[in-house]
Amino acid sequence: MTDAGSHAGRVALVTGAGRGIGRAIADAHAAAGAGVIYLDHDRALAEEAARVAMARGWRAVAVAADVADEASVAAAVRHGTETLGPVTLLVNNAGISPKSGSAGGKAFVWEMQAAEWRRVLDVNLTGAFLVTRAVVPQMREAGYGRIVSISSVAGRTYCDIVSVHYAATKAALIGFTKHLAGELGPSGITVNAVAPGRIDTPLMRGTAAEANEAVRLATPLQRLGTPDEVAGMCLFLTSDKAAFVTGQVCDVAGGWLMT
């Protein structure tokens, strides 16, 4: 079996596509032949990523939206869809991990501000809900869809380098994934999560160097991962090769977590 053409002619929406893991996921889908909606709340980053993609001959459009804002998500999906067509591939990647705490960026629960807790839930969890809800009608209409949400090893087990709001949202995305896999399977839509370990991106550079080094040493492959390695797993899950895979959490963590 080959998946040649698996992504060609389809439209993918990737959130947080301006940089880091999201940009690698968006680029991988565009290179595989999908039209890609590069969504980021930083308009300049999204536009630059889409501009580079189009210069490579790929189909792309940039949309600026805060995934936590319902109206902004609706407008972005409308614009992206009008430009490239109905979305059948979605990667919920946008996420934040504030480094406001006293322990090398990590905030302990006793020092965490409620406003920061709410913002992390709004972006990491409600954002995935709002974007998913906006595109699922298009997938149901097509009788085909692939949804992938970027969770984290921190949503599967205790990780002392992140804060509790972040871990709670990444665990919640796993419940979100399993429930939607059940609801949407009969419509021909698969729903999976990817749980990266430590990946070298701007988001993790706010973490103390010693903490990242401790993770590296605890990882059997003895290094941090790359955005392209996470993108490779996403590209598989959105392909026809993964047609019978749903409700799963796929680790891309160099063996840091083995269950």
Interface residue list for ligand NAP (CB under 6 A): 15-16, 18-22, 40-42, 45, 66-68, 93-97, 123, 127, 150, 152, 196, 198-199, 201-204
Rounded to a whole number of angstroms, the minimum distance from the CB of residue 119 to ligand NAP is 9
- Nearest distance from C-beta of residue 144 to ligand NAP, angstroms: 25
Nearer to ligand NAP by C-beta: 87 or 150?
150
Which of 42, 43, 142, 20 is closest to 85 using CA atoms? 142
State the catalytic residue, choosing from 38, 144, 158, 166.
166
Coil vs helix vs strand at 47: helix
20 vs 37: CA distance, rounded Å? 16
Distance between CA atoms of residues 41 and 81, nearest Å = 18
Nearest 10 degrees: Cα torsion 100, 249, 33, 11 = -80
The least distance separating ligand NAP from the CB of residue 27, rounded to whole angstroms, comes to 13
Which residues, in sequence order, are bridge partners of residue 252? 196
Q: Which is nearer to ligand NAP, 67 or 107 (CB)?
A: 67
Report the nearest approach of ligand NAP to the CB of residue 198 (Å): 5
Q: Which of 120, 121, 128 is nearest to 149 (CA)?
A: 128
Q: Do 105 and 159 form a contact (C-beta atoms < 8 A)? A: no
Judged by beta carbon, residue 15 or residue 88, the one nearer ligand NAP is 15
Nearer to ligand NAP, 33 or 101 (CB): 101
Is residue 158 flagged as an active site residue? no
Helix spans in 32-159 (H): 43-55, 70-84, 114-121, 127-142
Catalogue the active-site residues: 166
